[in-house]
A and B are shown apart, each in its own frame.
Chain A
């Protein structure tokens, strides 16, 4: 098709501005993170050494390169605090993603079975909370979970407990917060695959004598796996690096890696260690990130 090809050339020119922007503000910054992760902490402004100074000449630059070291990474591997933080981040992310799948799947399934007209309404209803501020949603839960908050008042009124339960600063509160914040990210991809499924498939399976649980487990669930994959990645990756939710809802005795990084950076002013922690976090997430990109590309570029 010739007109298609004619269209492609100016379309390629459209890439220039966003391309330059992303290289400058997404790719190049990573080079700085890498470089500073190999530097030493210094009491200076900026608080790390060596500082590359291109005007100082070639020898000074070579000296600066020689001063780079992997000490910060050694610290990250040898100090229990960081190892625990990474392990905790992964544990929390796996647990929370499993919870999200368990809670999100029935909701998405229910949406997909609604009459067409109602499906659009349900989708908007699921998306709207995603638009309201993250911080506000966490704050809403602090309101409910605090010592004399609504949840404890209800439990006391129903005589289910005799004393207020401590909810805040516990892992329970953190999981509630994470599930609440990420639920739309799980529901939407699941719903997208479930809604495309032919109802005839279920009917055929039922006609052939499969009980409902078999229809679900042998027909519906396997067919929804692409949606499950998208939802799981969409939740898992950001949860590993989550900062706000564990900071506001969980206790402070076990930190996630996002919190450790934040602490090193803002409280301890140890930029090199914070940078090294970011690099390691990125390494941990590399495989899921690549998987997610493949998925995203396939969806957008081949109209799946």
Chain B
């Protein structure tokens, strides 16, 4: 029997090039954030000058603080709602309006952000709501709860349902069975969902631009208006800090899913 070699040279080359393509630009950005020179492209030695500049930039700090608050608030609400939605879809069997429900949950995942942003803004204007922290938070919750629902639902789908049934056969009511059996098992996915919602919110420019009001810009909005004017070393420093924050979040997410799924089933990170 002729054996097909599992990993050809072509496979290795495409993997290496692909990963290099994905990581080199970010790596270059991080390195240049420590550049002492004002000219972004001339290497002037290592320095923390641009980080210093960022911490003295009040408008940037305020925007970063706004972004963090929105990300924490919207991720928390989105995780709650998204988990409920996932439970309803994977355990609720048939119910009225189910098709519409799942449709509304999957559509925002790929819906162009300009449409989501515009439609929410028109709603807020019609309701005469004051635009700022809460409108952005609501908008981000609407987007990110769909991602949470997908992550949690895929975990629920791979779960052995006989565990829940055993708990109910032993006399648990459904709510109790869910809380004491199902919930601990899907906890890693819920944590991963929260982290994903948090980073998506921190990342979003378009929807936030539509739904925020004057004087409450988020970090991406500030970065965007600076970037339009050209490359500035300070932006490299801010970007590096954001990347570091997200890296911490990812490490925490993977630790959380390792800790609570010692049976070897790990939650899908996406």
Contacts and interface: CB of A to CB of B under 8 A. Distances in A.
B122 A4 contact: no
Interface string B78-111: 0011101101111111010100011111111111
B183 interface: no
B104 A22 contact: yes
B26 interface: yes
A142 B115 contact: no
A41 B228 CA distance: 29
A269 interface: no
Contacts of B130: none
B122 A143 contact: no
Nearest to A295: B106
Contacts of A242: 112
Interface residues on B, range: 35 or more
B84 A14 contact: yes
A3 B29 contact: no
Q: Which of A143, A184, A265 has the most CB of B within 10 A?
A: A143
Contacts of B21: 180, 183
Given A15-B92, A301-B89, A32 B122 contact: yes
Interface in A92-112: 103, 106-107, 109-111
Contacts of B209: 266
Nearest to B175: A10
Contacts of B110: 233-234, 237-238, 289, 292
Contacts of B239: 133, 136, 139-140
B72 to A, nearest CB: 17
Given A21-B142, A282-B115, A303-B158, A136 B242 contact: yes
B270 A188 contact: yes
Interface stretch (B44-52, B58-66, B163-171): B163-171
Contact of B242 (A133, A215, A301): A133
A18 B227 contact: no
B119 A278 contact: yes
Nearest to A205: B4
Contact of B15 (A3, A110, A135, A206): A110
A110 B245 CA distance: 30
Interface string A129-155: 111111111011111101011100100
B203 A134 contact: yes
B142 to A, nearest CB: 4
B130 to A, nearest CB: 14
Interface string B250-261: 100010000000
B205 A114 contact: no
A304 to B, nearest CB: 10
A100 B145 CA distance: 27
Nearest to A138: B227
B2 A206 contact: yes
Contacts, number: 302
Interface in B204-224: 205-206, 209-210, 220, 223-224
A15 B199 contact: no
Interface in B190-207: 196, 199, 202-203, 205-206
A147 to B, nearest CB: 9
Main SS at interface, chain A: helix
Contacts of A111: 15
A129 B26 contact: yes
A293 B89 contact: no
A18 B149 contact: yes
Contacts of B174: 6-7, 9-11
A134 B239 CA distance: 11
A189 to B, nearest CB: 10
B231 to A, nearest CB: 6
Contact of B223 (A23, A122, A125, A135): A135
Given A111-B15, A134-B203, A143 B118 contact: no
Interface in A1-60: 1, 3-15, 17-19, 21-23, 25-30, 32-33, 36, 46
B142 A300 contact: no
Contacts of B104: 22-23, 26-27
Given A12-B95, A106-B18, 13 more contacts: A8-B92, A11-B87, A14-B87, A18-B81, A18-B101, A19-B97, A26-B142, A33-B118, A46-B126, A107-B15, A132-B26, A133-B220, A136-B242
17 contacts: A7-B174, A8-B91, A14-B87, A15-B84, A26-B116, A29-B119, A114-B15, A129-B26, A133-B202, A134-B205, A143-B32, A150-B41, A241-B111, A243-B114, A285-B112, A300-B150, A300-B154
Interface of A: 1, 3-15, 17-19, 21-23, 25-30, 32-33, 36, 46, 103, 106-107, 109-111, 113-115, 122-137, 139-144, 146, 148-150, 153, 180, 183-184, 187-188, 199, 202-203, 206-207, 215, 233-234, 237-238, 240-244, 248, 258, 261-262, 265-266, 271, 274-275, 278, 281-282, 285, 289, 292-293, 296-297, 300-301, 303
- Nearest first, the 7 A-B pairs at minimum CB distance are A241-B112, A15-B88, A29-B119, A106-B14, A107-B18, A11-B91, A18-B85
